[in-house]
Structure 1
Amino acid sequence: MSALARLAASNGLLRTLRCCRVGQLRAISTSDNKRDTTGASQPACEPAPKTTETNWISYGFSTKDKEEDRTYLHATFFFGITITFVFGGFVLAYRPDELGRNWAQREAFLELRRRERLGLPLVDQNYIPADKINLPSDEELGDTEIII
């Protein structure tokens, strides 16, 4: 085994093993003894040339360069998520009350305090005077079902 390691180091077999796939290197027997075998001194394959990745699918930021495409993808998503959630949440939390919900609630509490102080019922039964309400007559209603 040590003889094989010395032979591999002297003939550059280690470089050959690194550049070739495992199944492409053939063992050649040069002796009658079955245990004594050596590898071929010439590589059975050429080193694989460095090529660009052919199965690369672009994310749409760059169709020419994979690194540029990935960089723009990560930057876009990082800043997009940051702006959307962080700054968007800040804007939603501190925006003014456009619909006046807070104002209506404050006015309702003030009106309840005023009515309690004056001894009036909290909600008046005749909030709208009955003479101002125009209800349809029985003839106008006809067979319309009335659900109360």
Structure 2
Amino acid sequence: MRMVFFFGISVCIVLGTVFIYYSPERGMKDWARREAERQIKRREALGLPIIEMNYYDPNTVVLPPEDK
């Protein structure tokens, strides 16, 4: 029983540590930053502003009729 308990705990500690070490990062903050930097470089190369004033093209947005 002591041997099973010792190896069980040892395996849990070792495999748990390996799982945490090799699991993807939480929140993917580094990935988001790298992707943002790539987009900024791409937009600068194309001569576009980094951030557009309108997220959608205002000409394609359908608004409800105004009630008077």
TM score, norm. by length of structure 1:
0.31
Matches within 5 A, 1:97-112: 97=24, 101=28, 104-112=32-40
Q: Distance in 1 between matches of 2:63 and 2:9?
A: 56
CA distance in 1, matches of 2:58, 2:40: 23
The equivalent of 1:81 in structure 2 is 9
SS at match of 1:126: coil
Structure 2 regions of 5+ residues with no counterpart?
Answer: none
Structure 1 counterpart of 2:53: 125
Task: Work out which of the two has the higher radius of gyration on C-alpha atoms and give 1 or 2.
Answer: 1
Cα distance in structure 2, aligned partners of 1:130 and 1:94: 45
Count the aligned residue pairs: 63
Structure 2 counterpart of 1:115, from 43, 51, 67: 43
Are the structure 2 counterparts of residues 107 and 75 from structure 1 closer, same or farther at C-alpha, using a change threshold of 3 Å?
same
Letter in 1 for 2:61: I
Aligned to 1:4: none
Gapped runs of 5+ residues in structure 1?
1-71, 140-148
Shift of 1:120: 3.0
Report the secondary structure of 1:123's partner residue.
Answer: coil
Identity of counterpart residues, as a percentage? Answer: 38
TM-fit CA distance, 1:111? 0.7
Question: Normalising by structure 2, what TM-score?
Answer: 0.52
**Which one-letter code corresponds to 1:124 in the other structure?**
E
